[in-house]
Amino acid sequence: SGMATAGSGDVLTGVVVSLLGQNSGAFEAAAIAVCAHGLAGDAAAERWTRRGLIASDLLNFLPEAWRRLDPGETSCQSV
């Protein structure tokens, strides 16, 4: 899988921490971060390939992931 690359967990951690800094609860921050992280990974793999994916590629696709998430969403079920 493309997400099994060095640094992808660091990107996820950064997203969680940024949400915590915006006063999200811990569970909500983790759930939203995992969803956004996964959506960014899917978008990056679709644009390039899973084999060539590196962690910094995820950063380029996080804005797209945020656009796909509904405000106040705490899971990926609606995406």
Q: Is the pLDDT of residue 7 over 60?
A: yes
Smallest CA-to-CA distance from 66 within 24, 26, 19, 6 is with: 19
Quote the mean pLDDT of the chain. 85
Query: How many residues does the structure list for the chain?
Result: 79
Q: CA 53 to CA 41: how far, in whole Å? A: 8
> What share of the chain in percent tops pLDDT 90?
48
Q: Residue 29: which pLDDT band, with cuts at 50, 70 and 90?
A: very high
Per-residue pLDDT tens digits for 36-69 = 999 999 898 888 877 778 888 899 999 999 988 8
